[in-house]
Structure 1
Amino acid sequence: MSGIAIVGLDCAFPGAPDAEAYWELLMRGGESVGEVPPQRWEADELPDSVPESARAGINRGGFVAGADGFDNDFFALSPREAAAMDPQQRLLLQCAWRALEDSGQAPGALAGTDTGVFIGVMGGEWGRLRMGDPSRVTPQLGAGSAAGMTANRISYHLNLTGPSLAVDTACSSSLVAVHLAANALLAGECDTALAGGVNLVLTPALGLMYSQLGLGSPDGRCKPFSADADGIGRSDGLGLVVLRRLEDAVADGQRIYAVIRGSAVNQDGRSNGVTAPNRWSQQKVLEAAYRRAGVTADKITFVEAHGTGTALGDAIECAALGGVHAVPREKTCAVGSVKGNIGHTEGAAGIAGLIKVALALHHRIVPASRHADRENAQLRLAERGLRLLKSPMRLPAGEILAGVSSIGMGGTNAHMVLAGPPRTPRRAARPAGETEPVGVFTVTGDTPDALRRNLADQAEAFARRPRGGAASLGFSSNRVKTGLPYRFAVAARDTTELAERLRQAAAHGIDASTPAHRSWTRPVVAFVYTGQGTQYPAMTAGLYRDSAAYRHFLGEADAALTRHTGRSARESILRGDEAGYDAGDAQTALFAVGYALTRTLGELGVRPAAVLGHSLGEYAAAVAAGVLDLPQAAELVAARARLMRNLPAGGGMLAVGAGPEALAELLAAEPTLALAAVNSPADTVISGPLDALDRAAAQLAGRGLRTRRLDVARAFHSPLMTPVATGLRELADGLRPAAPRLPMASTRYGRLLHDEPLDAAYWAGQATEPVLFGAALTALATEVAPTHLVEIGPRPTLLPLARRAGLAPGTEHLHPVPGPEADGRQLAELVATLYRAGLDPEWAALYPAEYRTVERLRPYVFSSENRYWSRRDDRAVTPAAPVERPVAPVPAPVAAPAPAADDPVLAAVIEAVVTVGLYQPDRIVPATRFYEDLGFDSVMIMQLKDVVQEALPHLGEVSIRQLLPALRTVGSLADFLRELALARVS
């Protein structure tokens, strides 16, 4: 296996704001050329020397909508820096994020990796517009105008440490950038690469040059290979592809659009002019690319040509293509050029063609070539083995090879050979009647508004899809749509349900029903394990059906128990008859369920910070805490079950709605009864012979106290359990338990364990002494402070009790199998809840293996609220938009907001921050962080220092070294400056 896989892409072209719209434009044969927006230049700005016949073409072209919009807050860039940046840099930052998402990974997951960035960019119109006036030059403008920063910005803001470079070979820049990226991958310089290019038409200058060279189209449209071809029409465009070595992409299960089999770059050398194309060099670059790809020309099905629509350029390119492709072949080679749809995107021309070919191979159909209906007969396409597509061409089964050409004015030529993606086995259809697994769909945003915006966008996308399963979509979102601070997650079984739940969340915003909030810490989860009496027929059967992890761990527990019981706990758990459980089967079954649930949650990344077990539940809790291993616990539980099964019948338990002090007189009068459990100050259980319990129930009812007979067949936690205690003591005499690895609250002692061993004496006493659940849970809540209580058992009993009694207040209560109807949905919802609270789950364990595939999701929707655009005279700046202002040497002061007026130091700091970054004053509060929220860098810190010193002259000189430790928040800097002033006065 060899080659470079295209695993992700994103783009924006005229009339096509994303890859989906781009493909739709190509398939319908659309064209997106129009009048120049007044934001760029006015039609009357052209010199008088420009002929009238050329003016229309220069003032028309393809323009990306909303090119002035930029979500600077997302990238922690100040308004001042955003306004100074070349809009090409701004658009590429957003494009890079979306392309990485499209590759099936959260962009933040690549931070610190050797991912490379290779950007083709032609010319520097922004710099020429902005840097010509020395009085306007600022550090931000200098960095914002540099071509090299188009790549470096991406590497910096995404913290990518691989090669990062800009390439300018004129119109072939972006394809050359992809060529360099592929070679860097093959050389091992990086393991992932972002490659592509950008072009924004900001001035009419290049259009004037085309006109003077006789290359400009009078109507601003490119008509490649057409009899009507009359020149170049300029256009905006940007696109990026994510590249990986093919074997790595396959190993990681990434979706592959196409595979780069080989590429070549060469130069015309000294030909008939530095700007003139050279047929023989173009032919040689084709031959070199095919040679490196290990293919012959007759195997190429179609070629995306450079195809500018100039008479000379088309003629030379077709001659070069014909020189290679006019060989014996079954079918002629289809040829076309996307410039007929979107115009000539110059530095982004190569990536426009590459993405078109990758999408064609992915969809297995080649769009028709616009303007093919009037083919230029002088090009002699047929005799050269070439043809224009007048309608879309379906690609046959088997491997398909295609070529992409890009030719730079100046003589740098590039050609690339692509193949379709490797075949992957189709996921088998689920048997009829079998339900789809539940997935958890995640969405994150950098602000609450961003989260709502993206929830709505995803909901709309799923609403348009046919109804289908949601599991693989959930898995995809878990890999891609995570990492930003504001989180949302929802469990869903199909796309219809998913769309509705996302829509509801977007509409209702962030409230109690959709607790999507910024989580600064991980949740603190405590597990509480139920005891006997919670069993029922076929308990956890739904989860067993839906969760492979639960099936596996229940099998582990069953095997460990069967060695000592000779009977299957799993069978007794899953059987659906009404035979019920005897005293022995119930205990082994409940222990197995507790163990399997604990391990299943652990596989999902839900691990307890503390545990508590109620009576029998202490055995599973001890395993979770590392006190006992599974074989030790299974042997003890099996022995306990056997000993209790052998006890004579006749005992029972009675729950009473009162505290133990209210039962003291009754227990003294009935010496055969014992206090069995104190679950809360008003919830007690007594245990003993049935006749004594009947007398007690009648007496308590007469006092107006609530009583309820428990569904048990023995008098647990009473002196009647003494034979069990004796047997456990003898069996566990040699037991050497480990110290707990995490806090364990003992319901025997009613507190957290310290140095007490859970040895034979402990388990013997635990069988006869009262269960002090209320005290134990109170101690756990006090000392561990859990944010979430998760009950481990087949149905909720402890959580309702804790809620009624007010135990562990402030915690959220969760249960993975809350009753007989539970299945995989409740487990998924528990994980979704904890994810919203800050947990980062191990998502793969939630899904069957065949659903762990990455599907394409809608890309991140950035805010378009902030607009940054400036012409030479600033006339086109939107009134509400931030305006670039001169900085000499630091920005002019801006008035401080009123809230800080009573604190002159804080007011001065806020004023300085607003001045340096051009932030809205009401946005700056004491808790605002300099680096994470405001994007401060070394240049801004220097400017901040100067402004602060000027505003607070009594401080004197403050060094950067002194300032740096205080630059955590606006408030921390104000505190430091206040203390510094006091120290210098004293």
Structure 2
Amino acid sequence: MGDVAIVGIDCAFPGAAGVQAYWDLLMRGGDGIAPVPAQRWEARDFPAVGGSGGFIDDADVFDSDFFSVTPREAAAMDPHHRLLLPCAWRALEDSGRAPGDLAGTETGVFVGVMGGEWGRLTMSDLARVTPMLGSGSSAGMAANRISYHFNFTGPSLAVDTACSSSLVAVHLAAGSLLSGECDTALAGGVNIVLSPSLGMVYGQLGLAAADGRCKPFSADADGIGRSDGVGLVVLRRLADALADGQRIYAVLRGSAVNQDGRSNGVIAPNRWSQQRVLNSAYRRAGIAPDRVAFVEAHGTGTVLGDAIECAALGAVHAVPRDTPCAIGSVKGNLGHTEGAAGIAGLIKTALALHHRIVPASLFADRENPQLRLGERGLRLLKAPMRLPRGETLAGVSSFGMGGTNAHAVLGSAPRTPRGAGTDGARGRAARDAVGVFTVSADTPEALRRNLAAQADAVAGRPRGAAAALCRSSNLVKTGLPHRFAAVVRDTGELVDALRRAAAPTDTAAEQGRPWGRPVVAFLFTGQGSEYPGMTAGLHRESPLYRRHLAEADEALAPYLGESVRDLVLGGDERVHRPRFAQPALFAVGYALARTLTSLGVTPAAVLGHSLGEYAAAVTAGALGLEEAARLVARRGALTAELPAGGGMIATGTGPGELAGLLAAEPGTAVAALNGPSDTVVSGPLDALERITRRLTGRGVRVRRLPVTHAFHSPLMAPAAAGLRTETVRCAPPAVPLASTRHGRVLRHDLMDAGYWAGQIEEPVLMDTALAALVADVAPTHLVEIGPRGVLLQIAARGGRAPAVEYLHPAPGPAATGLELAEAVAALYRAGLDPLWEELYAPGHRGVEPLAPYVFSSARRSWDRESFVQPARPAAVTVPDAPHPADGAGDGRDDPVLHAVVQAVAEVGGHPAERVVREARFYEDLGFDSVMIMQLKNQVEARLPRVGEVSVQEMLPALRSVGALADFLSDVLMARSS
């Protein structure tokens, strides 16, 4: 049998809500046994059952909105299903995956569940039977619910082998993984003590403990105490888990399942079958029994069951060995969780191997001498047992009433090499590295709740670097509609950011959900923005930027004869000379754009200002990197050959006011039209001085630009002539490119030699190009690509892109990796799902544990009165010509909308105030095909003048409540005419 890794865990047991709470309970030797809650039954009415057991707190709580389940359906669901759904979510998070990332994959679900108590309690009253109860009471739906809500398409099955159900489920899941049937599997079990009936059976069989406590292997053992429990593990093939860098709790080395067959009674245990299943599991794991350090036994605490199990364990493990095999049973802490018993033991064992310590067994201080543990090579742990270095092996047993036995062999996780970056300067870089910590939730209230939970969890850690923690949050805490992202370097900053965002006075969590992805346009800065050492801080902190700048450097080197990267980062003043300034700016623009696209920021359109068009053309696919590098180097060389004496000025006026001044100064020209009152003039220096004096005398703002030549003027004619002779390999842009030469969007045009020749001497039509871009793609974000902020200021002054967010990943000399991370964080909050991995150096890609998702506890679903069939409503009188509904809320001013709102509220059990026009039937209100049929009947009864409307006719209108109301209004109008 191949090896299977346990990479994620979640559970809830009596007195232990969560994995850490479970481990704490085991290590302190606590127990979760308590009096029967009045919610279940009155203990005084069933004295033979006893008044104690193990009960999960708030087992009736279910965040139905999160899982898009209507309140009426939630009330009809078996509570086992309601416990499994959040458990599955948290287990997948614990595995280092955002659960939504697995949607549509062949992920398998294997759930152990014993009996069908909910169905017996609810379906016996025939007058109350509903379709929701039919699906809600099926044991098979325990697994199918998970597969449905998470959109998993792999095998999905519920397993009932009585008390061994959940360990058998793990065995089946491992087999499915190893056969290639699925690549990820959720496996485990669930149990809720809904009524005293099975306890009465145990009592009549003489198997019930008088005090409701299991006392495994103790002289005081007197039977079973029943308990709740839910637990799931995420399983993957070991090789896949290692390849993906997942944290591994333990490794499932092998497992086996068998049956007692015809023995001394259908519910009596069989020693020989137990021995055989142990030997079979060890054989499949490829190990000898003497290598097993401890066994998590079935250990129910019944006199007969303990005796038979110890005899079987001794027969297998009493081989010559240096130390006895330790045994214990978690049932001493929890009671017998029946369908979840096997997973309770498996999780305990996996955690013991992970922490390298085995908790003591409760009631071990009064060991039953009749079990003869010592002579059988066994010992009960009276104190926690430290595990030695190296691989440790352990066994887990679970035996079912009826004779289905299971045993699993677990081994400690293999050692993996630590990430780099822990010494010297590299270690300091790791401590100072920037990360983006993300949290997402389904509502603003849930986001605040989870921000507070993450803040508490991070505050409990030692203060230190946050990059690896941020990276883990990007893998796990994304995918839900309401989003938070904070750019931080250490955990102290992170705690402060989380607490601020979680505060009721902060409005960030209340912002609307991003209903779509952001539309991003890249604006590439031109010459004049260069400076020595530009982007050095980003280069130091971003491996991704370093890689792409090296690509540009390699492409330019054959034409420059030296490294433009070294020149830029070395602070060389030659960066101001055209021969180097132009290639340097191109390299920076290319590298910044490639850095963003590698992070998943794909532009919907690009625009380049003058020289910036070369990097824009590469990003748009109009030029290849090598071809653009050759042309830019040629452009720089041609410019360097021009005589000095030219320059440029930026003026705060339009071309009309400049016309007379330019006519009086030969050789001057409008070089750039950046906005209605934002014009750049180019020409000889002495002419520019005269124009400057005249404009300032009129009160016009004028600024000299830091350039060496009169670009975009007739003085550039020799350089244009040199470019015109080039042979250019080009293609139509694959991304819309707003040409600042033509002032329009290029789609099929070729940026050939003629284009680039005209581009260097003709004016830059920035204003009209930006207007064309905005009209074409309606961007939500403008991102400037260059070493300092220039174009965003121009765009803001021109007013061509109102209500657009401006971002810059490298806005000036002080920029580091922080600004790049902030740009990505802003786009994530707006709906982008970045490729986060590329933001982090390999040494920061470790897996860090995060607090699990905190679901809402506001809604309780235990009252069986709330899932009865919707009542037949009274008809609504509708005017002959209804007006289309245009408001939100219950639509009292529109009878049709009001009728739809009331019908939706009745069918789903929602409060009417939640059923707003924008609410979507499937995503927001949790409707399914059964509820749509019920909604059809409700609508027809409430709006009799509409008549009968088929579901097929309604389907296109089921986008939202408002869409359905509009459709019905049109139907009513058509039938009234």
Q: TM-score range by the shorter chain?
A: over 0.9
One-letter amino acid of the counterpart of residue 623, structure 2: L
In structure 2, distance between residues paired with 1:962 and 1:691: 76
In structure 1, distance between residues paired with 2:210 and 2:906: 47
Q: What SS does structure 1 have at the residue aligned with 2:190?
A: strand
Task: Give the corresponding residue for 1:616.
Answer: 611
Task: Give the corresponding residue for 1:5.
Answer: 5
Task: Give the corresponding residue for 2:931.
Answer: 940
Task: Give the corresponding residue for 1:701.
Answer: 696
The question of 1:463 aligning with 2:456 is answered: no
> How far did 1:63 drift?
0.8
In structure 2, distance between residues paired with 1:518 and 1:827: 23
Q: What SS does structure 2 have at the residue aligned with 1:971?
A: helix
> How far did 1:963 drift?
3.0
CA contact (8 A) 2:653 2:700 kept: yes
Pick which of 533-542 and 130-139 moved more.
130-139
In structure 1, distance between residues paired with 2:893 and 2:107: 49
> How far did 1:617 drift?
0.9
The question of 1:435 aligning with 2:426 is answered: no
Task: Give the corresponding residue for 1:879.
Answer: none
Structural mapping, 1:106-125, within 5 Å: 106-125=98-117
The question of 1:909 aligning with 2:900 is answered: yes
The question of 1:600 aligning with 2:595 is answered: yes
One-letter amino acid of the counterpart of residue 643, structure 1: L
Task: Give the corresponding residue for 2:859.
Answer: 866
> How far did 1:5 drift?
1.3
The question of 1:290 aligning with 2:282 is answered: yes
Structural mapping, 1:121-200, within 5 Å: 121-200=113-192
Task: Give the corresponding residue for 1:886.
Answer: 868
Pick which of 962-971 and 653-662 moved more.
962-971
Give the alignment partner of residue 830 of structure 2, picking from 830, 833, 837.
837
CA contact (8 A) 2:184 2:235 kept: yes
Task: Give the corresponding residue for 1:473.
Answer: 469
Q: 1:630 to 1:76 in 2, by over 3 A?
A: same
Q: What SS does structure 2 have at the residue aligned with 1:915?
A: helix
Q: What SS does structure 1 have at the residue aligned with 2:918?
A: coil
The question of 1:248 aligning with 2:240 is answered: yes
> How far did 1:892 drift?
4.6
In structure 2, distance between residues paired with 1:973 and 1:747: 46
Task: Give the corresponding residue for 1:804.
Answer: 797
Task: Give the corresponding residue for 1:487.
Answer: 483
> How far did 1:235 drift?
0.9
Pick which of 959-968 and 330-339 moved more.
959-968
Q: What SS does structure 1 have at the residue aligned with 2:792?
A: helix
Task: Give the corresponding residue for 2:883.
Answer: none
Deviation sequence 1:290-310 (CA, Å, 0-9, x none): 111111110000000011112
In structure 2, distance between residues paired with 1:395 and 1:193: 29
> How far did 1:273 drift?
2.0
The question of 1:16 aligning with 2:9 is answered: no
> How far did 1:112 drift?
2.1
In structure 1, distance between residues paired with 2:234 and 2:505: 34
Q: What SS does structure 1 have at the residue aligned with 2:17?
A: coil
The question of 1:32 aligning with 2:65 is answered: no
CA contact (8 A) 1:2 1:247 kept: no
> How far did 1:510 drift?
7.0
Q: 1:150 to 1:767 in 2, by over 3 A?
A: same
> How far did 1:984 drift?
3.5
In structure 2, distance between residues paired with 1:865 and 1:838: 28
Q: What SS does structure 2 have at the residue aligned with 1:628?
A: coil
Q: What SS does structure 2 have at the residue aligned with 1:435?
A: helix
Deviation sequence 1:359-387 (CA, Å, 0-9, x none): 11111111111222222222111111111
Deviation sequence 1:401-455 (CA, Å, 0-9, x none): 1000111122221111111112111123433343232222222112222222212
Task: Give the corresponding residue for 2:389.
Answer: 397
CA contact (8 A) 1:516 1:836 kept: no
Q: 1:757 to 1:666 in 2, by over 3 A?
A: same
In structure 1, distance between residues paired with 2:368 and 2:392: 27
Q: 1:953 to 1:895 in 2, by over 3 A?
A: closer
One-letter amino acid of the counterpart of residue 297, structure 1: P
Task: Give the corresponding residue for 1:963.
Answer: 954
One-letter amino acid of the counterpart of residue 891, structure 1: A
In structure 2, distance between residues paired with 1:817 and 1:267: 67
Deviation sequence 1:430-489 (CA, Å, 0-9, x none): 333432322222221122222222122112111111122222222222222222222222
Q: Give RMSD over aligned pairs.
A: 2.0
Q: 1:860 to 1:531 in 2, by over 3 A?
A: same
> How far did 1:753 drift?
3.1
Q: What SS does structure 2 have at the residue aligned with 1:218?
A: coil
Deviation sequence 1:552-576 (CA, Å, 0-9, x none): 2111111221211212211111013
The question of 1:584 aligning with 2:579 is answered: yes
In structure 1, distance between residues paired with 2:202 and 2:3: 38
> How far did 1:28 drift?
1.2
Task: Give the corresponding residue for 2:922.
Answer: 931
> How far did 1:697 drift?
2.2
Task: Give the corresponding residue for 1:204.
Answer: 196
Task: Give the corresponding residue for 2:706.
Answer: 711
Task: Give the corresponding residue for 1:368.
Answer: 360
Deviation sequence 1:45-93 (CA, Å, 0-9, x none): 21xxx5xxx56xx210111011010011111111111001111110101
Pick which of 145-154 and 971-980 moved more.
971-980
In structure 2, distance between residues paired with 1:324 and 1:899: 70
In structure 1, distance between residues paired with 2:755 and 2:224: 88
In structure 2, distance between residues paired with 1:222 and 1:127: 28
> How far did 1:885 drift?
4.5
CA contact (8 A) 2:483 2:509 kept: no
In structure 2, distance between residues paired with 1:105 and 1:501: 24
In structure 2, distance between residues paired with 1:69 and 1:692: 79
Deviation sequence 1:590-632 (CA, Å, 0-9, x none): 0110111111111111121111111111111111122221122
Q: What SS does structure 1 have at the residue aligned with 2:5?
A: strand
One-letter amino acid of the counterpart of residue 775, structure 2: T
CA contact (8 A) 1:452 1:509 kept: no
In structure 1, distance between residues paired with 2:234 and 2:618: 46
Q: What SS does structure 2 have at the residue aligned with 1:244?
A: strand
Runs of 5+ unmatched residues, structure 2: 877-887
CA contact (8 A) 2:33 2:335 kept: yes
Give the alignment partner of residue 497 of structure 2, picking from 489, 495, 501.
501
Pick which of 338-347 and 682-691 moved more.
682-691
In structure 2, distance between residues paired with 1:462 and 1:867: 30
In structure 1, distance between residues paired with 2:556 and 2:182: 51
The question of 1:950 aligning with 2:941 is answered: yes
Task: Give the corresponding residue for 1:41.
Answer: 41
Q: 1:644 to 1:958 in 2, by over 3 A?
A: closer
Pick which of 940-949 and 553-562 moved more.
940-949
Task: Give the corresponding residue for 1:307.
Answer: 299
CA contact (8 A) 2:44 2:51 kept: no
In structure 2, distance between residues paired with 1:577 and 1:757: 36
The question of 1:64 aligning with 2:46 is answered: no
In structure 1, distance between residues paired with 2:627 and 2:499: 50
Deviation sequence 1:801-848 (CA, Å, 0-9, x none): 221232321211100101111111111111111111111212221111
The question of 1:386 aligning with 2:378 is answered: yes
Q: Percent identity?
A: 67
Deviation sequence 1:756-787 (CA, Å, 0-9, x none): 53222222222222222122212222222111
Q: What's the TM-score, normalizing by structure 2?
A: 0.95
In structure 2, distance between residues paired with 1:898 and 1:109: 34
In structure 2, distance between residues paired with 1:232 and 1:514: 48
CA contact (8 A) 1:448 1:510 kept: no
Q: What SS does structure 2 have at the residue aligned with 1:925?
A: coil
One-letter amino acid of the counterpart of residue 443, structure 2: T
Q: What's the TM-score, normalizing by structure 1?
A: 0.95
CA contact (8 A) 1:135 1:886 kept: no
Task: Give the corresponding residue for 1:765.
Answer: 758
> How far did 1:514 drift?
6.4
The question of 1:445 aligning with 2:437 is answered: no
The question of 1:668 aligning with 2:648 is answered: no
Give the alignment partner of residue 790 of structure 1, picking from 783, 786, 801.
783
